[in-house]
Structures are given as C-alpha cells and as structure tokens.
Structure 1
Amino acid sequence: MNRSLSIIMPALNMEHLVGEAIATTTRALQRAGLSDYEIIVLVNTSRDGSHDRTDEVVLDLAKKDSHIRPIINHHFKPFGLTYWQGVDLAQKENVMFIPSDDETIEDSMVGIFKDIGQVDLVVPYTVNKKARSFKRRFVSRAFVILCNTLFGLRLRYYNGTCVVPTKLIRKVPMRSGSFAYMVQVLVLLIKSGARYVEVPMGIKPTSATASFKIKSVIEAIHALARLFWDIHIKGVRIKIPF
C-alpha cells in the first residue's frame, strides 16, 4: 500500500492563515496514522510584485518542522502552474493539494488520508456548499455540469483536494495554468481506467471569495476545449498499472 504523501500548498498573501493551515493538516495526518509526508508550501507573489510576510512565516515554520518544504517564487505564477510546480517537486508516492487558508475541516482531511492507497484516485466533494457564496456555488455547479456533459462522467466535484499517485499525474501531458487544471487530470486518468472513490469534504466559511475574471474563464474554456479534442478526437489515454 503506497501511502506516502506530498501535500502541495500554494500560498499568496496568507501570512495570517498559512500557519493554521499547516497545523490543521499536520494534526489530520497524525490522526490518520500517516507519517511519511512532506508539505510543500509554494509562496507566490502578486501580479504587481507585492507580497506580505507569508514567506517569512513559512521559512520560520520550516526551521521547526522538517516535513515543511518552503518554495519561494519571486514572481507571479498562476494557481494551476503553481500546482504543477509542486507536482514536479514532489518526493512522495502521492500528491494532494490543500488550500493555505485553512478552509478544509480537519475531520474531512482524516477521512481523505485514510483512503490513500485503497484506490488510484481520491476525489473529495464539498458537502456543506452553503459555506460558500451563492455566486461561487452557482459557478461551481455550472462548471461540474459542463465537465460531466463534455466527458460523460458523473463526478460531484472537480476542483477539490484530490489525491493522485505521483507517477500517474506526471504522465498527464496537459498542464493548464487555469482553474481547470484538475479537470485535465481526473478526466484523462478516469478515462484511462484509473479506479477512484469520491469522499465527502467539509469546509469552513471564509470571507474570501473566488474571483472569476474574464481572462480566467477564457483560459479554462481553452483548456477544456483542448481536453475534449485530446480525449474524444485523438483518443489520448495513458497506461494505468493494475
């Protein structure tokens, strides 16, 4: 059973929350009995070059805990590309994204961690959707319906804290920087025959709201169009070991 885990935690202006996110994650890992892990915290800079003290906070925490790997990006990097940077840096057998705003409820993390190694993919879905704004719920629901329609799947959620084997995700040829990055991963791997389980995930209400800029939407549509072409027209698949 391959249960070692690289956690990818992008952090942009999260000096007041990233410490709690790391602490919550660490407690959940301990409760799940998972000791072979690393937390890769990728500290980003805003588009205008500004940043807060997130880098200092993370570097200080890393001095006290060898599981924490701080990566400081001194230039802006889109969220999706930050995730892929973490994938390239991962040293464990599985990778997983966890938000740096301490949004995910600890008990939910424990449940996700315990499923690692049981199947190829662990795919969480949000159960307490009203913790988010109506706008975000509407956009999220529309996005799920669109993806399921395009690719003939019945997933509950595509943008959660999914767990993917490192060897498999590194075979994925599409690497979008948009918020559709995980759609590319899940669709290709599931269509290739990967076994998966959907697990419930609770989140905390936050004051932060997702920003859906026109440019981001266009980038996501472009990523989905390319994925549709690759999956349905070119028949792209990868070999899944059984």
Structure 2
Amino acid sequence: MTPPSTILITGASRGIGASIAEHLAAGGHRLALCYRSDRGAADQIAATVQAAGAEAEVFQADMSDPQETRELPARVAARFGGIDAVVGNAGMTKDGPFFTLQADQISSVIRTNLTGTLRLLLGALPFLEQSAAGRIVLVSSLGGVYGTDGQVPYSASKGGLIGVTHWLGELLGPKGIGVNAVAPGFIETDMTAALARERIQPFLDVSALRRIGKPEEIAQAVRFLLEPGYVQSTTIRCDGGFAR
C-alpha cells in the first residue's frame, strides 16, 4: 500500500499473522499487532517489524470477547490517528468427530473466528470509511471452501468469512473500500503441526505442488490484496493447486 498506512492485524503474534506483519514492514507502514495471550511473542514480532523500518505497537484483545473486539479499532485509531486496513487473521479450532463435539466447543470456534471478526469490522468501518484507500482482507481457509472432516466448526466459521467477504465487497465497493479474502490450504503453523501426518497427506496427494505451504506465501497474497486494484469480493485460494 502506498503511501504508508495504518494496518490492524489480528492473530499477529505467530504463524500467518506474524509473517504478514513481517512482509508489510518493508513498506514502512504503521502496524497494530493484535494478540490474545502471548505478549512475549507479540513483542518479538513488533521488534522485528520496527527493525525493518515500520512503526508497530501491540494490542491485547480476545476475539471471542464482544467488548474487547468492538473496542479494539478505536484503541488503534486513538494511537495512530486512524485505520486504513484490517487483516482479520485470528482463528482457533476445536477438532473432533462432529457428533462428539460439545456445544461449547462449537460455539467457541464460531465466536472467535466468525462472530469476533464481524464485531471487529463493525468497529473498524467508521475509520475505514475515512481512509483514502480502505482495505479489508480476511483469512479464511481451504476448509471454508470445501469443508474438512473433523473440523466442522472451523470450516463453518471460515466459510462464513467467505460469505462476509462477498457481501461486504458489494456493499463497500462504491465507497472505495477493497474487501477480499485468502483461503490457505495446509500451511506450516502451530495449528497444522498438531495434525497427524496421515490426516494431511491425502490433501497433499491431490494438490498440484504436493507440499505444505509456508506462512510467507500467504503473506504475499495478503500484501497483494492490500494494494489498490480491480480485485473485489474475491477469495483467493492459496492451496498449492488442491483439486477435489
């Protein structure tokens, strides 16, 4: 994005979110790095970003908490003078056979991944509308496109983000606000590291690249979508050519 902008990134203390922050640092942006619990990891990413020439500050917020989520954009805007872009990356999962899941397991995933993101955007929209080039990029998942066995709540929440992207893009396009999403396949993160290799391998066997992706490859797609352009209301699949 040119000129330097204020970008709010949720789930920024590790994995894809941390890589997004690092990729945006070279542009000299002002980065608001949101974390839920690991302040040390968030501070480390902030230090890396600052060393690369960008301004960064960490903000604690639990995306499942309605008040914290709605208030986060205002806190960021108070610190940086506004918000030009939101990257909704925060997410969690509760895996298991669908019929064995408890109601609280399902609701906790939906509350964090989908409802929390919606509340965040509601809080951020007044600031994005004041920006000369507002942008929203939501991090969905291949599970949100196709569904994933053993991850039904996660897939449902990420599929919801795709629907939100398409609707918001139509609503906000006339106002000049770009809205798009990325849908990563299997990426080298703490979340996928917890999965048994036999669960991942069938997906790799039907992908063109036959490998797990890297966080920086998703960050590249996010950086592209943050630039002004003709892409709108679109979900870009970053899944190594997965075919189903």
Do Structure 1 and Structure 2 share a fold, with TM-score over 0.5? no
Tell me the TM-score normalized by structure 1.
0.39
User: Which structure has more RCO (C-alpha within 8 Å, separation ≥ 6)?
Assistant: 1
Is the helix fraction higher in 1 or 2?
Answer: 2
Tell me the TM-score normalized by structure 2.
0.39
